[in-house]
Amino acid sequence: MKPISIVLIEKIPERATLIMGALRAEAECEVTVIATDEGLARRIADIAPDLVLIDVANPSRDTLEALSLASSPMDRPVAMFVDRSDRDLTRAAIEAGLSAYVVNGLRAERIRPILDAAIARFHMFQRMRTELAATRAALAERKDVDKAKRILMTARGIGEEEAYAMLRRSAMDQKKKISDIAQAIIIATDLLK
């Protein structure tokens, strides 16, 4: 199994060294430290890590948004460690898509469980996003099929079951999905108006 690739965003070199030691003691990993916000998004994209850890003593809302956007929380697990927080910052962190937002800083004995939780939470949300996208696509296809059925019912003076049977038969004959046939009917009808 290949080592996990981690980007650690930490501005204080001594803290970065401590965190890197703790990470390497808990997991087989390759750690890249980024100590500046300059070009952060590009650098993270170039590295394409499996996980991003951000250690910030006192984040502001702007810092939180910039770091979360730069670390692409929708592409990989992102865990942020802060010394202090408040309700608004916690809410902003969750809305930004962070996998873990840990108050009271980063301590060696907490690293492994937090990493595991962040990765698990990230994968859970990835599945939910995938399922949501599939559900939305299915709903859109269903709307198209219903619209195409109404068009056929009106144009041919037939019932709903017969219109659906026509769509299904046409899809089978053309080796296409029913929704593709429905879209073609909708487009053709719109062109003829």
Tens digits of residue pLDDT in 90-146? 787 777 777 887 887 667 777 778 888 888 888 888 899 899 999 999 999 999 999
- Domain coverage including residue 14: 4-106
List strand residue ranges (DSSP E) for 94-174, in order.
100-103
Domain match, 97 and 8 both: yes
Residue 113 lies in a domain: no
Please say if the pLDDT value at position 188 is more than 70.
yes
Q: Which residues contact 13 (CB under 8 A, 6 or more apart)?
A: 35
- Let me know whether 36 and 91 are in one domain: yes
Torsion-angle region of residue 91: left (phi > 0), alpha (psi -120 to 50) or beta? alpha
Answer yes or no: do 8 and 101 share one domain. Answer: yes
* Percent above pLDDT 70 for the chain: 89
164, 88: one domain: no
Q: What is the pTM of this model?
A: 0.66
pLDDT of residue 136: 96
Residue 5 has pLDDT above 70, yes or no: yes
Backbone angles phi, psi at 82, to 5 degrees: -130, 150
Regarding whether 89 and 8 lie in a shared domain, the answer is yes
Shared-domain flag, residues 93 and 167: no
One-letter amino acid of 84 = R
Q: Please tell me the predicted confidence (pLDDT) of residue 144.
A: 96
Number of domains in the chain: 2
Task: Tell me if 54 is assigned to some domain.
Answer: yes
Using the predicted structure, report yes or no on whether residue 24 has a pLDDT greater than 90. Answer: no
User: CATH number of the domain that 164 lies in?
Assistant: 1.10.10.10
Which of 3-17, 76-90, 128-142 shows the lowest mean pLDDT across its residues?
76-90
Assess whether 147 and 77 both reside in one domain: no
Residues 11 and 97 reside in one and the same domain: yes
Q: Are residues 164 and 70 in the same domain?
A: no
pLDDT, position 93: 76
Statement to judge: residues 101 and 8 lie in one domain: yes
Residue 176 placed within a domain:
yes
Please identify which residue in the block is written with the tokens 């299904």: 168
Q: Looking at the domain assignment, is residue 181 inside a domain?
A: yes
Q: Are residues 74 and 158 in the same domain?
A: no
> Do 148 and 100 share a structural domain?
no
